[in-house]
Amino acid sequence: MTQLAGKSILMVHPLGYKSEAAGRDISRMTNIMPPLGMASIAAYLELQGIQSAIIDCYAHPDSDRLIRDYLLENRPAFIGLGCTTSSFHDGVRIARLAKETLPGIKAVFGGVHVSALKTKVLADYPVVDFVVVGEGEQTLTELIAEGGHAPDSVEGLIYRDQAGNLLFSGFRKQALVLDDLPFPAYEKLAGYPEAYKLPIFNYPKAPNTSCISSRGCPYACSYCDRSVFRRSFRYNSAEYLYNHLAYLQDRFKIRHINFYDDQFTFNRERVEKFCRAMIDRPLHMTFNCAVRAEHIDFDLLRLMKEAGCWMISLGIETGDEDLLARHRQNADLTMLADKIRLIKKAGIRTKGLLMMGLPGESEKSIQKSRDYVFSLPIDDFNLAKFTPFPGSPIYEKIHELGTFEEDWEKMDCMQFIFVPNGMNRERLEELFIDFYRSHFTRPSVLLGYAAMLWRSPDSWLRFVADLGSFVKFARTNQRLGKSE
């Protein structure tokens, strides 16, 4: 038997469900984001002389045969799975497939889910050999360099010792300097950039892509996981960021970027320098970002608009200020409304991000959210179904706050697996559907989408191409609302 290639790894991004369901997944049809964490790790590994490849099952469902063929042809010593909570079991399935195909291969798991659960992952899933806790670049490099034989010397690792004991080597003592990292290995993503799509009506031009320019968040909301970066917050410099965009434009002809940072404008000086670079040395690209209202003002917004900012997303979460105060700092909805109006005044599209079903939610608080959102000049919004994830502060006491069906495969923010005390799942579904229906039938919203004919023609082409699926999805949810 041919020996395994020691310094090599196949990294796989699981789909999270059966591949035949991918064509019916409305969220996947409208938004396929590249696995940027894996692409970053792959670029870092290559610099250390470690061969790597990526198979993205989310962008390319039904990839089992591709995985088998790669394993048999290249015989890597490791397979790496980067999983969310909802895709973890699919990752376990792929790890079993890999070991059946290539006995002796070691399975390494990373991501927020396993970083939160730590030793429980190895205790409950024998197919998992290692868990990387936190950032993966250095830990994975050191593990592969050691051939998996000396894990006690590798920081940030969960492993089994020779006696079968489960051990955690501790968090890495030194965080990475982000400007020292190479750009992600986008070229390892099959079909990039065409295989990846931002949400429709969330961009003006194609091709487009996502980019991450920071890691972590300085805030501590009840519903956010902090297992990977904990309370740290680091970011790329303005010059690195500008060069990153220039590279994407030159190499892949990218015309629009979505910054997938938790908090893009936290460091004002960085954003100002980046915007001035985009103005002084035009790349003729546009961008979206997410912000907190505390960290924007009209002068900054005007500068961002001139630099190409097309849309800004803000976490509203709920229009009930008392409920909001239970889950995040600085719950000032009046201030938030004022900042949303400033964004519109600056000529930038606005997207509100909300959740339904937070602990403490009631029909009254949902009505407050509707009234609040409908009073604001919001162009687009996303209403997620609250999901208590391992690693979030609220997860530890969630069973006291309502009924929680902890089925990991359903934990995708698309299902009410948690129902707050005083509510029931059927009524939540009914209110959720009615919230969306009411928003998308408002005249101002309809006019805004009509304007996308010339502001984002590619979005309309995608919408028309998938119209049958959208109509089927809408009718299915309408029937659900009536039956419940």
| CATH (domain of 300) | 3.80.30.20
The number of beta carbons lying within 10 Å of the beta carbon of residue 181 is 16
Q: Give the pairing type, strands 214-216 and 233-235.
A: antiparallel
pLDDT confidence tier of residue 480, bands split at 50, 70 and 90: very low
What pLDDT is stored for residue 231 in this prediction? Answer: 67
Lowest mean pLDDT among 57-66, 248-257, 457-466: 457-466
Per residue in 89-104, pLDDT (tens digit) is 999 999 999 999 999 9
What separation, in Å, do the N-terminal and C-terminal C-alpha atoms of the chain show?
59
115 lies in which domain range?
5-168
Distance CA 275, CA 39 (A): 26
What SS3 class is residue 165? coil
Does 196 map to a domain?
no
Same domain? For 54 and 133 the reply is yes
Q: Give the pairing type, strands 76-82 and 106-110.
A: parallel
Mean pLDDT of 421-441: 94
Same domain? For 317 and 432 the reply is yes
Distance CA 341, CA 328 (A): 22
What pLDDT is stored for residue 468 in this prediction? Answer: 63
Per residue in 309-360, pLDDT (tens digit) is 999 999 999 999 999 999 987 789 999 999 999 999 999 999 999 999 999 9
Does 189 map to a domain?
no
In this prediction the pTM is 0.92
Distance CA 431, CA 159 (A): 45
Q: How many domains does the chain have?
A: 2
What pLDDT is stored for residue 210 in this prediction? Answer: 96
What pLDDT is stored for residue 319 in this prediction? Answer: 95
Q: Which residues pair with 233 in a beta bridge?
A: 216
Same domain? For 434 and 355 the reply is yes
What pLDDT is stored for residue 230 in this prediction? Answer: 61
Same domain? For 159 and 254 the reply is no
CA angle 118, 120, 123 (to 5 degrees): 125
The answer, yes or no, to whether residue 159 has pLDDT greater than 60, is: yes
**Domain final position from 168, 188, 223:** 168
Does 99 map to a domain?
yes
pLDDT confidence tier of residue 471, bands split at 50, 70 and 90: low
Does 362 map to a domain?
yes
Mean pLDDT over each residue of the chain, to the nearest integer: 91
What pLDDT is stored for residue 153 in this prediction? Answer: 87
Distance CA 411, CA 388 (A): 8
Mean pLDDT of 385-409: 93
What pLDDT is stored for residue 225 in this prediction? Answer: 75
Same domain? For 163 and 208 the reply is no
Does 190 map to a domain?
no
Does 188 map to a domain?
no
What pLDDT is stored for residue 242 in this prediction? Answer: 98
135: which DSSP letter? -
Same domain? For 270 and 314 the reply is yes
Distance CA 206, CA 368 (A): 37
Both tokens of 467, joined, read 């119209």
Same domain? For 127 and 210 the reply is no
Distance CA 432, CA 361 (A): 12
What pLDDT is stored for residue 483 in this prediction? Answer: 45
Whose CA is closest to 366, among 290, 439, 415, 313?
439
Query: How much of the chain exceeds pLDDT 70, in percent?
Result: 94
Does 18 map to a domain?
yes
Same domain? For 162 and 262 the reply is no
**Domain final position from 168, 187, 210:** 168
Same domain? For 161 and 208 the reply is no
Q: Could you give the strand order of the β-sheet that contains 309-317, starting from the edge strand earlier in sequence?
A: 208-211, 256-259, 286-291, 309-317, 349-356, 380-385
Mean pLDDT of 28-51: 93
What SS3 class is residue 371? helix
Same domain? For 164 and 245 the reply is no
Q: Which residue has the higher pLDDT, 219 or 300?
A: 300
We report the CATH number of the domain holding residue 30 as 3.40.50.280
**Domain final position from 168, 183, 218:** 168
Both tokens of 130, joined, read 């290692």
The answer, yes or no, to whether residue 367 has pLDDT greater than 70, is: yes
Tell me the H-state helices in 35-111: 36-47, 64-74, 88-101
Mean pLDDT of 11-38: 87
Does 180 map to a domain?
no
Same domain? For 148 and 54 the reply is yes
What pLDDT is stored for residue 473 in this prediction? Answer: 55
Same domain? For 341 and 386 the reply is yes
